[in-house]
Amino acid sequence: MTNKILLAIDPGASKPHAYALFKDEKLVDYGLIRNCEELNYLVMTRQPEMAVIEDQHIAKNMRAGLKLAQAAGGLAELLKYMDVRVRLIPAREWTKAFMRWRKGWPPRKAYLPAVVKITQ
């Protein structure tokens, strides 16, 4: 076991932001991040090796897309300040990863860590 911990964050235009924690490619925790203190506590207690954040596609609603992109950028900078490696994952890949995981292809396999490996 390598005990690699991955923090995945789905930013919302308005708080809270959703997160999921994976340990060795298995979902171990999930919840909401309401403020910087909660993110700091999460990083300090779980010590993720890397964080992935959904990158926003701005096509239909420019104003909402801009707010989401700003939230993602703010989270990325805060995590970098806390010495956590950060990768932005395109929304299309993010959605594909979680839809496959929800459908169970293959059963009990989380695809988000596999997406991260592709983007490294």
> What is the percentage of the chain residues whose pLDDT exceeds 70?
71
Q: What is the pLDDT of residues 28-43, one digit of tens each?
A: 999 999 998 999 999 9
Q: Would you give the end-to-end CA distance of the chain in angstroms? A: 21
Report the domain count for the chain.
1
* Closest of 22, 8, 15 to residue 89, by C-alpha: 8
Q: What is the pLDDT of residues 41-84, one digit of tens each?
A: 999 999 999 999 988 766 677 777 778 888 888 899 999 999 99
Q: Could you tell me the CATH number of the domain that includes residue 105?
A: 3.30.420.10
Tokens of 18: 């959703």
Beta-carbon count within 10 A of 103 CB:
9
pLDDT, average across residues 2-21: 82
Residues 19-42 as b or e (16 or more Cβ within 10 Å = b):
bbbbbebeeeeeeebeeeebbeeb
Q: What is the pTM of this model?
A: 0.76
Q: Give the domain extent around 85.
A: 5-119
